[in-house]
Structure 1
């Protein structure tokens, strides 16, 4: 509930600090005293548009701070703040501050953490419910009527919403699978052609490097083939240098024992023969490695070029071609497997849709039953509020399937008819603002046990009525405020007498400076203010006596 409201430099208010408690709080004062300024200031912390005209003349900025306290933070507020990364400790008050500049612009804070004004507007409905002469929110707005009726009916709205999400998720999965199968079918012929082309070539991992190396070697062999042939010719045959060395070694071997130097010469010659043999082996190996075969070179180049052309076609590396083949095979397999999976997905979507329809139909029946009870409850409140000729109707209509949603298959709107024989019309279409406020009061009383905002404010709900009707309004406001918090801006002494707390709004002038102030009245102050409301400018003893009777009667 709202516990404190601090206002600085708003219109006629230079500095004001108000404390509020539970129950019914009434705000009274002469016309033009500045009651609307309080509501405008509160509207700022609830996300209303920042108007620089609200900044008090001569000041460069203004601010409004509102504190709300809860036994447990409402779920709607907690979830919204959590999404915005605003941390509120358990038991910590929710403090909203709004600053305005005279040259335009504003800033908003929640517990000293900067936030956007849109966030204030998002949490406002759970904080304050304002009903005034021209209110287009709260109970007047048909967008909230279905939720109010569901709370009255005790419908499992979360279960219904969950069933809706399950159904839509199942339908989305089915639609995605169908799209994939259709796309795969459209690509099937192309996939088959590409796969046949790749299969015919059968690329292997690492093949490009091997072919490139083979091609390079053959090209070197082609270039060196003449030199290698001449070298092999020099090395081979009976007249080759190596053959001559071997003959010399055999002859030297026969005479090496005759002298030590001959033995050393033979050893050196043997080493030369070993080195020469190794050179011959290397020469033969090189000749084989660089062997040039025009047909083999042509085949290697042709395959290398084909592999690279396919890689460019499929926008990948040559070594990735085997994986591309596997992907194509998987895609083709998915066409067959996807069609089989569609049957299971269709069944799941059908079952989810049936589950949703079952819950939605149950919610529909519960709404019809609750609508009759609500209509009767509201009707019982109309006569005491001088609306005995009026009628109230909870209109429920079934939506077309394309309009179904997490809230079900129904549209719900509260309608009224103010005169006998008149057609029912939306709440905000009736002519009289006073009638609208009283209709809202009757509806609030009927829905009193169904929760709502933490703080409810009625702005001049008693306009144009008095006597027994005003007493009936006061009694119902007090009943609504029991266990909660309700603030009423009123001109009716009967309503004011019902207040648990009473605030007097007054305007005063000192020279050219005009100020609005708010005072919490004690018992004597309450008597005097209610007497003023009864008698007018001059408070008479009779008015004070009547005020006492009103206060004693509650």
Structure 2
């Protein structure tokens, strides 16, 4: 419920503070007095898109503050939680400032917010309806959700089934696309993988083969030099000479033992070192020994590896990784042929589940449509439209997360006349009554929203206007309804009454809103009946309206 509204320096409003109450609140006044400005200001603090220039002439900025009741179970609390805005008590305070240069700044419970947050809260707080209500009941794009709300339909089952179906379709489509792409290169893949399986290249193998090839190519010259070295240090060379020298020295030790012993020991140590050198040279010779066919084999494999690398545009060391990728693609191709039937079956099962859920929802919508049509018939009769018909059409539509139905409200104002959209068939007064009846039916027991009707009684009078007023009063029972009206019949039924006036002082125009006390209501309703000159007859008629409303 809207508790209060404070407006500062907005258009022709200087200072204005209003305290609203539960029940039916009526705002009356001459045309042009500023009632629309009051609604523009309320829309501004709720983040609605409206007039660009709102700041009163001569003011630096305009400001609007609105206070709403916030019970513990109010849906606005979910929005506050989502945007991490505190809500410690039972009041929701919105404040928005518009500077002269057009900048807008807003706060919710003292936390600075964007217009998006205000609009999210607005959807849970207030609804505005009028003859040009193209953003609400007249917008056919919203009729399906309105019918679902009326039916109390839970779209979770259909939404989840649609999500599973969409996932199954995407998975199947992706697998088929991969399969088709792989099939384009199937011959290449099988041939290439067969080549790699035959060659089996290894990382680092190319460098190893190149080194072996170079070694074998120079082995003959190297081996000849190494053999000469082995011969030079062998029995025919240094080893033999050192053995002769050792023997000769040992034969001479009888006469010079003390002098030759160190030399003999040194020769023995040298013989040990020479033996190690000889063993190393012999090992080298063994390593240099190869079969001429080994060189041919090494060169053949080296050239094969390099050719394979050039063919596929990769480095030789990357051939194993490249081969693994080709095998994976071939495996995927082979596996996809086996998995596609399963994916197709899964998609068909998901489709069947969705179709069942959507059909169940369609049945509920069709049943609810009949109930809504019956409820509307019951509401239209008291509004002096007992010959009019209201039809909720549920027709097949493109499937989606909200089912496979399209919903449209159509009306006919006279028997035998064709049905059509609300805003195409009904006249101004008829449209007002259709909208009021529809809102009464759709609202049901919901009382969280404050409902505002902007001259919804335009174009009707007499008994019809009284009927409209009484439906508004019934709609306000247990909740809050604000009505901007020119109808004295509607004004007389209000629980709380405000008068909007425009004044010009020193060439400055201002709009004010003042509560109409019970003692003043007679004259205000008489003014609405008679105009500027209030006659006794007008007062009598006004009193009759008030007595009938009591």
TM-score between the two structures when normalised by the length of structure 2? 0.88
Matched, 1:465 2:463: no
SS at 1:447 equivalent: helix
Matched-pair contact (CA < 8 Å) for 2:175–2:336: yes
Conserved? CA contact 1:67–1:96, under 8 Å? yes
| Number of aligned residues | 548
Q: 1:527 to 1:308 in 2, by over 3 A?
A: farther
User: 1:244 corresponds to which residue?
Assistant: 241
Between 1:497-506 and 1:93-102, the stretch displaced more is 93-102
Q: Counterparts in 2 of 1:24-43, with a 5 A limit? A: 24-43=24-43
2:507 to 512, 523, 526: 512
- After TM superposition, list the pairs within 5 Å mapping 1:55-74 onto structure 2: 55-72=55-72
Higher mean Cα deviation, 507-516 or 532-541?
532-541
Residue 250 of structure 1: how far off its partner (Å): 2.4
**Which blocks of at least 5 consecutive residues in structure 1 are unaligned?**
none
CA shift, 1:4, in A, is 3.5
Relative to structure 1, is the Cα distance of residues 300 and 59 closer, same or farther in structure 2, using a 3 angstrom cutoff?
farther
Matching residue of 2:484: 489
- Secondary structure, aligned partner of 2:525: helix
Q: CA RMSD for the aligned pairs?
A: 3.3
1:423 corresponds to which of 418, 421, 442: 418
Alignment deviations for residues 256-303 of structure 1 (CA, whole Å, 9 cap, x no partner): 464222111111111122222222233334455566877645644553
Other-structure match for 2:450: 455
Is 1:537 the counterpart of 2:532 in the alignment? yes
> In structure 2, do the counterparts of structure 1 residues 509 and 236 end up closer, same or farther at CA, with 3 Å as the change threshold?
same
- 1:409 partner SS: strand
Query: Cα–Cα, structure 1 residues 273 and 460, in superposed 2: closer, same or farther, change >3 Å?
Result: same
Are 2:435 and 1:437 equivalent residues in the alignment?
no
Q: Distance in 2 between matches of 1:331 and 1:349?
A: 24
Query: Can you give the 5+ residue segments of structure 2 that lack an aligned partner in the other structure?
Result: none
Residue 369 of structure 1 is matched in structure 2 by: 367
Q: What is the alpha-carbon distance in structure 2 between the residues aligned to residue 162 and residue 274 of structure 1?
A: 88
In the alignment, what sits opposite 1:13? Answer: 13
Contact 2:384-2:467 at 8 Å conserved across structures: no
Q: How does 1:265-284 map to 2 (within 5 A)?
A: 265-284=263-282
Moved more, 374-383 or 329-338: 329-338
Higher mean displacement: 64-73 or 187-196:
64-73
Give the C-alpha shift of residue 34 in structure 1: 0.3
Q: 1:86 to 1:222 in 2, by over 3 A?
A: farther
Aligned counterparts, 1:233-312, within 5 A: 233-238=231-236, 240-256=237-253, 258-289=256-287, 296-297=294-295, 299-311=297-309
Asked if 1:498 corresponds to 2:497, the answer is no
Deviation of the 1:419 alpha carbon: 3.2
In 2, are the aligned partners of 1:460 and 1:491 still within 8 Å (CA)?
yes
Query: Structure 1 residues 550, 215: CA separation in 2 closer, same or farther (over 3 Å shift)?
Result: farther
Query: Any conservation in 2 of the 1:10–1:54 contact (CA below 8 Å)?
Result: yes
Displacement of 1:162 after TM fit?
1.9
Partner-residue secondary structure (3-state), 1:356: helix
Q: Determine the C-alpha separation between the residues in 2 that align with 1:404 and 1:231.
A: 92
Counterparts in 2 of 1:171 and 1:130: CA distance versus 1, 3 Å: same
